[in-house]
Amino acid sequence: MRIRPIAEDSYLRLIRTARRMEPATCWIKGANVLNVYTREWLTAHVVLAGERIAYVGDAEPIVDERTQIIEGEGYWLVPGYIEPHAHPFQWYTFDSLTDFALATGTTTLVSDTLHLTTSLSLEQVEAILQQLTNHPVKQFFWARLDPQIRLAKQSEAFQKDGLARLLAHPLVLQGGEITDWTGFLAENEEILFGMKHARDVGKRIEGHHPGASASTLAVAAAAGITACHESITAEEVQNRLRLGMYATLRHSSIRPDLPELLAGMKRLGIPFHSSRLMLTSDGSTPPMLRHGFTDYLIKLAIDAGVPDVDAYAMATVNPAQYYGLDAEIGGIAPGRIADILFLRSPHEPTPEKVIANGELWAEGKKLLRQTPKINWSDYRFPQPKERLPLVNEEWFQFPEISPDEPYPLIQMENAVITRVVYERLECDETGRINFDAHPDLAQIVTIDPESGKRSQAIVRGFAVNLQALASSYTVSTDMIVIGREPKAMKQALERVLELGGGIVAMEEGQICFEQELALAGKMSDESMAELIESGEAFVRFMRAKGYRYLDPIYSLFFFQATHLPYVRMTAEGLYDVKKSVVIKKSAPLFE
């Protein structure tokens, strides 16, 4: 597959430059160049004709006064990195993630379309995908087959016609990730249609199989799933590879698994030079990006003992091959698009310079000029204040309980996994839960203006003595409010609505944390540097409030995500995912 067609005159120029009949546009003189195909470092000249590589080797090119000559001595050149599994909406936007990626050497992203497809028409989604291709980072996408929440509004992207339309889109490289495995097993029509269709139109299908046995994975492979990024042990990596799947090794803000996975793989003798290994940061939230992006993962791999050439291959030629793009990207070789990173040492994957499409775009982790941006105001995401003009303090009244009857609690096991436990709780004189006797508990309320429903439950493990936190940053289009003070919970939600979306915490009537996320309630147009600072401030705030797990940002995001075990907040109420039963029903917002 080709990334884009080549103009006739550019094609001729490429051939003539390769034949040394025409001058190079750029000559990188005598650098150490990684050959990802033979996995060796070779001293070579790299010669460009416009956006493509014309020649790599010993011969000097023809030059003229317009040839840009870059002294390659002392540099180690590697191909631009490829992130095969991005979720570009974790506070950052598609734009700010791409800028950050470019500055740190990732020149291709394959991205989730989730919050576009749940909020916009397919025409608008397609217009955004098309606009994103103006960015120097090459961008491709996946068509989700399920929205990861129960009783999702029937957005057209998840109907058969919509799925077929998205899967036919030239920028969409795969279907998935298949998070609704229960739906697959129940032979859900749309999911099976989407998988078969992806397969029939020659696209990849990505799985999502945490903890799956070899026999479950075998079913997934039979159904056409070709990669999965959910291995958390080396044995799970091995199971995937043995089935002919690609295993994407993940290091993310909720699962920072890479060093352990690699140590286990060494123990099992899984070859690091396998072409079926890729790396992903799987939508890490801003604080994790303090360390970098794909460059950070490669560094971790090298530090864990992976030979440097194999670590680079995991983030370049392997994903390029997986997506059928290796004639275009993933290597420094003739005919490829010139995405070239200049490193100071093979053990230091953060590039000093980044060439993308034959042009120098970044130096010292800074972009040299503005990249094309999406004009987000052209796209009408539902406005929180219009969806929910009135907030009622009653929604946050504590539930009446009986001190003799065990009450269902959401017990957090880690940042995203929850269980239901039943406990007797102390009540006050009004028959409502006495939160003073239970400092580690908080009320959690989700609000869905479209269905006019609110779900209410009690959570343990999120925070201690938390007065109020409201968030439009959720996996769905709902709002979530957590806390112990109904008045403060109302105020926090009102502030989120006023911001047009975001996360707000209140203490003693004062805002003590605030992050605007006015784009779809999930993203802000602040720079990545600002979002990293703010994300770190949020983590500090939550730690001070007793949060003990890895990533409070993802905790908020996933309280409703029914692809995760074991209890979730849904429009129907508190829901047991394994048993498929509602534990506690939702209530109407307005009687």
Residues making contact with ligand ADE (CB under 6 A): 87, 112, 114, 148, 179, 282-283
Nearer to ligand ADE, 250 or 584 (CB): 250
Least Å from the CB of residue 115 to ligand ADE: 8
CA distances for 269 relative to 40, 233, 247, 272, angstroms: 21, 13, 15, 9
Nearer to ligand ADE, 179 or 555 (CB): 179
* Contact indicator for 340, 36 with CB cutoff of 8 Å: no
Least Å from the CB of residue 558 to ligand ADE: 8
By CB neighbour count within 10 A (0-12 exposed, 13-18 middle, 19+ buried), where does 348 fall?
Answer: middle
Nearer to ligand ADE, 51 or 551 (CB): 551
28 Cβ partners below 8 Å, 6+ apart? Answer: 45, 46, 47, 48, 70, 72, 75, 77, 340
Least Å from the CB of residue 114 to ligand ADE: 5
CA distances for 542 relative to 242, 252, 290, 402, 552, angstroms: 42, 19, 18, 31, 7
Least Å from the CB of residue 497 to ligand ADE: 23
* Contact indicator for 47, 69 with CB cutoff of 8 Å: no
Round to whole Å and give the CA distance between 548 and 539: 10
Cα angle 166, 478, 109; round to 5 = 40
Round to whole Å and give the CA distance between 535 and 101: 18
Nearer to ligand ADE, 427 or 523 (CB): 523
Least Å from the CB of residue 112 to ligand ADE: 6
Nearer to ligand ADE, 85 or 169 (CB): 85
Q: Are strands 418-423 and 581-585 parallel, antiparallel or unpaired?
A: unpaired
Least Å from the CB of residue 27 to ligand ADE: 42
Nearer to ligand ADE, 108 or 474 (CB): 474
Nearer to ligand ADE, 178 or 388 (CB): 178
Q: Give me the DSSP letters along 268-308.
A: HT--TT-TTEEEE-TT--HHHHTT-SHHHHHHHHHHTT--H
What region, left, alpha or beta, does residue 436 occupy, with left being phi > 0 and alpha being psi -120 to 50 degrees? Answer: alpha
Helix (H, G, I), strand (E, B) or coil at 467: coil
* Segments in 363-504 forming alpha helices (H): 384-387, 486-499
Round to whole Å and give the CA distance between 157 and 210: 25
* Contact indicator for 122, 128 with CB cutoff of 8 Å: no
Nearer to ligand ADE, 288 or 433 (CB): 288
- Residue closest to ligand ADE, measured at CB: 283
Least Å from the CB of residue 282 to ligand ADE: 5
CB atoms within 10 A of CB 546: 14
Least Å from the CB of residue 87 to ligand ADE: 4
Round to whole Å and give the CA distance between 352 and 103: 9
Nearer to ligand ADE, 204 or 584 (CB): 204
Nearer to ligand ADE, 79 or 147 (CB): 147
